[in-house]
Chain A
Amino acid sequence: MDPFIKELKETFINSDDLFLHEEEILDVPVFLVGFKTLIDFTKTKVILQKYRETAISSKKSIGELLNEIGEVKEKDVKEAVSFLMTGKLLIVSNNRRKYVVIEPVPKMLNRAIEPPTNENVLQGSLSSFNEDIETNIGLIRKQINASNIRAEALSVGSEQKTKLSMLYFGGQADKKLVEKIRSSIEKNQDREINNLQNLAKALGFSGWSVISKVNTTELPSETVAFLRKGRVALFVDRYPFALILPCFLWDMFTLENDRNYPIPLMASIRLVRIFGILISLLIPALYVALVAVNPEVLRIELALSIAQSREAIPYPALVEILLMLIILELIIEASVRLPSTIGPTITMVGGIILGQAVVEAKLVSTLLIIILAATTIANSTLVGIQNSLAVRLFKYVLVILASIYGILGILGGIVLISAYFASIETFGISYLNLNYAKEGTKYG
């Protein structure tokens, strides 16, 4: 047997889905090598057959035929292995120094293009990205018919290659930004990218930033809007999201889909989201501050009624609110974990616990339940799961500060969070940038 084939076989020892199929093409014995699990072998063979017939009728030599159907490569095991891994079919003949890589009919291993699962769209285009990077880029090209979309293919990883693709509008996106992203990915060639933390490292970000420096969206329509404003979208193969760079605070409140409504409605929807972040940050902290530290700020009537509702509650406001907030976080986390068939159980049980039992048992005050509900609802108005998670965390900073310093603590906390937001920079571009499309990175 050919040493090349032998070596391939040894590399994939115990991989039973590797096939080595002996064939004759134009009377030359060859091996067809590939993975059963990645290649639709029957269909591929039919196509090969067709090529063979036309070659016979036009009297081509085997060399010409192979040149025509694929790429001829020098025998190099390492390269061949990576071709096999990406689902290519190799045609190897015994007595030649070269082999041919052809693009077979692949097994259908992708989802179809479906409506989004993480982001709901009202009155807007519904298709969302899926796991296949090429489908995603195709969706973008379909979404906007523009010749100046650039799609640069990059790949990272030393052992396992991950395909990355960087999309931007030529002429619109800042060249410096594109260059910075490209060079930082190229610098981190040997890093493996399995998740967004890896990607953040590869882009040179700290893994400890609470606010995610990449904005994710699974909607081509949103992505195109970002691209049009001069941002850069990164696609990672097998990750059904576009990663938008740089990311800004304002993205928390805006969706491109808002622009499908008249301007006053758009403005009020966005205002609601701004209220959302303020309420989810401030209300729990205000409760602690007003109940425990500064009750005199409230109207006397209000202060009394709050005091009355807390009459039989055996622990301080901070413990009370932390207890309930943690239960609430557990409910949210549980409803993400559970299969959707059992999910409603959690809502029901949680609803009963929160709604009635806890209050009737005099473990927490009724007011607190209202506040928790308002907080959770307000938190969900923010755009982007990663953002609402960050706000959920910031809320605790404020609650703890409020329990020590009262209202002063809340405002101090706001300064702290504002300072944190202000200190975030992505490739030299501030997180608080409002006018990126106009200014570009020239001030970055």
Chain B
Amino acid sequence: MDKSLHVVLMYLLVHLGLIFFLYPNDIISSSDEGQWLPIAIGLLFHFVLVWIYMKGLSFFPKQNIIHIYSEMGRGFAIFFLLPVFMYLMLVNIIGVRAYSEIITIIFLSNTPSWAIIILFLSISGYLAAKGVEVIFRTGILLALIFIPIIFFVSIASFQNVDWHYLFPLIDDDFHFMTTPSYMKSFSAFIGGFLFLGFTAPHLTYDRKKVLIAAALLIPFFVLAVYIPVLTFGQGTASRFMFPYIMTVDSTYINWLMFDRVTMFFILCLVTFIMLHLSLLLWMAYQIMNHWFPHQPFYSVLPFTIVIFITSIMIIDWKTVERLLWWNSFLQFYVLLTIPLSIYFIGRRRKGRT
């Protein structure tokens, strides 16, 4: 079952959801000038890891990473999959909490965030319980409906650009490498490709097409950082929590009846995030299902309840930030070990045969 289109679109949507919120601020505050360098390094990581991951997976046609690890032995599976499971849950909790907070900050200031969390979790829980194929098909529909809006807004956001802010181009020291915010920005670079290893028996895809999708994302990675910088300058842009969204908010389109195009832009991205959350839930279910076979509903429901309770216990944005910071370690661990280990297991297996 070749479903490259499904996978490619999902890949795009998941990353678009990640790129526009926290990532621009992380990059802008990590480096004062020449932001292309941190972006390029991040993208390099992205491409190398995705390539290694997919290359590793290609040694095991029709197997997902759960099968691969469990073939190596029970301890092996626990050693690798337990952190993945924890990571998935943590990302889900932080994601739900962070985006509900973002929505309350930007609009819906009267709605309590638990209500928004319920909406998030019920929709993504419903999707996750329906299974991976439904998630991917929904992705196609959402892409058809919302990607035009994203394009439109991205183009409109060039309105106030001042190209002089492009300079200076070179940041001669690499001090951004050591800043915590650069670490955090990696959640956009490497946080979205884990699902490629889970889809295997249900959907297969062409590796090249996924790489093309990754290439298509490059302009978005660049624009999300550079448009705020070009509009406000680095000094101002670094003070915003969501620089890109501020930039979009500052555009004015004469003929449109809406004053805040941002709202539609953010919400389109939020739908992509719902999709991503459902994918995370489904992956967590897959791991649980491997140890205790059961219907998706019976694990998705407890997962959503746990996520709901935990995310409500996070009281403010500071805690969210701290969690994001902690999570970036787990994230590095998971997203470096998984692709590499898959690759080496695959190589070894190939060498043996």
Contacts and interface: CB of A to CB of B under 8 A. Distances in A.
A244 B141 CA distance: 23
Interface in A395-444: 401, 404-409, 411-412, 414-416, 418-419, 421-423, 430, 432, 443
Interface string B247-290: 00000000001111001100110110011000000000000000
B123 interface: yes
B217 interface: no
A440 to B, nearest CB: 13
A401 B127 CA distance: 17
B111 interface: yes
Contacts of B263: 294, 297, 407
Contacts of B259: 296-300
Contacts of A359: none
Interface string A279-299: 000000000000001101111
B116 interface: yes
A419 B126 contact: yes
Contacts of B115: 404-405
A296 B258 CA distance: 9
A443 B123 contact: no
Contact of A415 (B3, B107, B123): B123
Contacts of B140: 422, 432
B294 interface: no
Contacts of A415: 123, 127, 138, 142, 271, 274-275
Nearest to B141: A418
A423 B129 CA distance: 10
Given A300-B259, A415-B142, A409 B119 contact: yes
Contacts of A421: 137-138, 141
Contacts of B348: none
Contacts of A300: 259
Interface string B1-43: 1010000000000000000000000000000000000000000
A374 B1 CA distance: 42
Residue of B138, B257, B274 contacting most chain A CB atoms (<10 Å): B138
A2 to B, nearest CB: 62
B123 A412 contact: yes
B271 A405 contact: no
Contacts of B134: 419, 422-423
B145 interface: yes
A302 interface: yes
B44 interface: no
A405 B117 CA distance: 11
Interface in B77-130: 103, 107-108, 111, 115-116, 119, 123, 126-127, 130
A408 B123 CA distance: 12
Given A406-B108, A414-B145, A432 B275 contact: no
Given A404-B115, A408-B270, A419 B130 contact: yes
A430 B137 contact: yes
Contact of A405 (B3, B111, B141): B111
A103 B110 CA distance: 77
Contact of B116 (A293, A297, A405, A411): A405
A344 to B, nearest CB: 36
Contacts, number: 94
Nearest to B144: A418
Given A299-B259, A432-B141, A414 B271 contact: yes
A111 B127 CA distance: 48
A408 B141 contact: no
A443 B136 CA distance: 14
Contact of B138 (A296, A299, A411, A418): A418
Contacts of A297: 107, 258-260, 263
A226 B258 CA distance: 42
Contacts of B107: 294, 296-297, 406-408
Contacts of B111: 404-406
A430 B258 CA distance: 36
Nearest to A290: B258
Contacts of A407: 107, 263-264, 267
Nearest to B203: A443
Contacts of B137: 421-422, 430, 432
A407 B149 CA distance: 15
B127 A419 contact: yes
B263 to A, nearest CB: 5
A411 B108 contact: no
A85 B108 CA distance: 67
B258 A411 contact: no
Nearest to B136: A422
Contacts of B130: 419, 422-423
Nearest to A299: B259
Interface string A359-395: 0000000000000000000000000000000000000
25 contacts: A296-B107, A296-B259, A302-B257, A404-B115, A405-B108, A405-B116, A406-B107, A406-B108, A408-B108, A408-B270, A409-B119, A412-B119, A412-B123, A414-B271, A415-B274, A418-B145, A419-B126, A419-B134, A419-B135, A421-B137, A422-B134, A422-B137, A422-B141, A432-B141, A443-B1
Given A407-B264, A421-B137, A432-B141, 14 more contacts: A409-B119, A411-B267, A411-B271, A412-B119, A414-B142, A415-B274, A415-B275, A416-B123, A419-B126, A421-B141, A422-B133, A422-B140, A422-B141, A423-B134
Closest 9 CB pairs of A and B: A422-B137, A418-B141, A422-B138, A411-B267, A423-B134, A423-B130, A419-B138, A422-B134, A418-B138
